[in-house]
Amino acid sequence: MTTFTKLDDHETPLISVHPSRRISKINPNIYAGFTEHMGRCIYGGIYDPGNPLSDEKGFRKDVLEALKGLNIPVVRYPGGNFCATYHWLDGIGPKNQRPARPELAWLGTETNQFGTDEFMQWCEALGTEPYLCFNFGTGTLDEALGWVEYCNGTGNTYYANLRRKNGREEPYNVKYWALGNECWGPWQVEQMTKEAYAHKAIQWAKALKLLDPTLILILCGQDGTASWDYYTLNQCLVPAHSALSTSSVPLIDMHSIHLYTSSSSHLLNVTAPLAAERAIEITSALIDLARVVNKVPPEQLRPTICFDEWNVWDPIRAEGSLGAEENYTLSDALAVAVWLNVFVRKSKDVSMACIAQTVNVISPLMTTPEGITKQTTWWPLWLFSRYMRGWTVASHVSCGTYEGETSPKWIRSAKDTPWLDVSATVGDDGFVNVAVVNIHDSRDLESHVEGAQGEVAVFTVTAGDLSVTNLNGKEEVAIQESTWTGSGQYVFPRHSLTLLRWKAE
């Protein structure tokens, strides 16, 4: 949690950090990923058989190596919008017998050469957990139950045996399952009303939990502020179903929300993720409201928020059906840093956040047949994933604010937009980590940092110009490392991310 006092621009900013005031544990799953059958994410991204850079399974080794550096705990699959017409049975068994199908989300052909078993093997190679999304468009509940049985079944049953026949004896133990994706969206095959969705979601959840009460089921929300969120939470956060063996097993474990932000104007770009912060606060209140109204017993676990698509994305400049390959600038990298500050500040409510997506499609990591490029946005992600773990701790910022227009406009009346956007953690290793984004486009901000002590390690992400990218053959934006004595004032450079790290007392 970071509190804020507004100063005049001529006053000296102050950041105070209180590592002994732990606010909430940070779920490592806020650093989750997302791989969809879209553009070059799977084919030509993580899976590229025949390429000398790939292993015998067709997995790009350079991609795996790079992603290992991000320590990604969970990866969502196979979509996204792709899910709405995906039949998982098409993607298992001998590859030469798998059907190619027209793909209706991104208007291509799905060859099904990469499917459930390949994804599970890729997750094992990466050292991450799978998170699967059901087909709520053309799919059936029978298919969904079969998919769970194929992945997790241990008995002598049809789909568990089919998995064994396909070469995998042990279950994959997939915990996380989404009840559809963006079912409210007009672009969706089988777009639903909130009434139809809530009815279907609760019926599917009951059957799925009867099959396996340990599944973590994720309700399809909108952006956290929509009447869809209000209605579906009210209908679906109900006392545990009497058919389920234990009264503390809820039907719904998490509520998913999505948001993409972007602007060609820097200050709108970097303040836009604050809409996500307010959306998290609103969703959290809607969860409580639904539980109050439905008289859910307090011992039944309270659902958390799964922000399973977030990023900087302008779908006009990087169109989905053309593969959504964004060229990220320094400004975008700083927006991603503000996004990550939001998830750290809101660690009490957000138990998973998946950057959309992991490779090539609106991604920090790009491939060509010859190698990989780490975009500007890779570096904030890497720094946060490496250091901003453990506990969110109390911090307070006093500084001036940006007072111009925001996108969306409602941020202006709902949130402060300080020049210094801050979150702070203390790790299990006893180190304090403070992430400071100076969003100002032209002013370095010399600030007091109260609480800093001993030798402070400093990691800085910046460049001379907000519009630079890493796609011109040069890594213009990366991490510069230095140290600071921890006394006096620290100068946070204009348009930069700085991570300060010191050992707590």
CA dihedral 227, 239, 258, 207 (to 10 degrees): -110
Residue 254 corresponds to which tokens in the numbers above? 């998490």
Sole binder of ligand AHR in the list 80, 139, 400, 451 (CB under 6 A): 80
User: Closer CB to ligand AHR, residue 90 or residue 223?
Assistant: 223
Contacts of 40 (CB under 8 A, 6+ apart): 323, 325, 359, 360, 361, 367
323 binds ligand AHR (CB under 6 A): no
Sole binder of ligand AHR in the list 356, 359, 434, 435 (CB under 6 A): 356
Does the annotation mark 450 as catalytic?
no
CA distance 349 to 419: 25
Catalytic residue among 149, 182, 277, 326: 182
357 binds ligand AHR (CB under 6 A): yes
| φ and ψ of 42, to 5 deg | -85, -65
Residues in the chain: 505
Helix (H, G, I), strand (E, B) or coil at 152: helix
Size of the site for ligand AHR (CB under 6 A): 10
Does the annotation mark 309 as catalytic?
yes
289: left (phi over 0), alpha (psi -120 to 50) or beta: alpha
Q: How far is the CB of 363 from ligand AHR (least distance, A)?
A: 10
Site string for ligand AHR, 32-61 (x = CB under 6 A): ----x-x-----------------------
User: Closer CB to ligand AHR, residue 36 or residue 149?
Assistant: 36
CA distance 147 to 348: 32
181 binds ligand AHR (CB under 6 A): yes
397 binds ligand AHR (CB under 6 A): no
283 binds ligand AHR (CB under 6 A): no
Catalytic residue among 110, 118, 309, 326: 309
Site string for ligand AHR, 290-309 (x = CB under 6 A): -------------------x
Q: No. of H helices and E strands in the chain? A: 11, 22
182 binds ligand AHR (CB under 6 A): yes
Q: Which of 252, 232, 231, 230 is nearest to 296 (CA)?
A: 252
The residue ranges of DSSP E strands in 134-223, in sequence order, are 176-179, 216-220
421 binds ligand AHR (CB under 6 A): no
Q: How far is the CB of 83 from ligand AHR (least distance, A)?
A: 8
447 exposed, middle or buried (CB, 10 Å; 0-12, 13-18, 19+)? buried
Q: How far is the CB of 31 from ligand AHR (least distance, A)?
A: 17
CA dihedral 273, 275, 281, 285 (to 10 degrees): -140
CB-nearest residue to ligand AHR? 80
User: Closer CB to ligand AHR, residue 75 or residue 435?
Assistant: 75
Interface positions with ligand AHR (CB under 6 A): 36, 38, 79-81, 181-182, 309, 356-357
Among all residues, which ones are annotated catalytic?
Answer: 182, 309
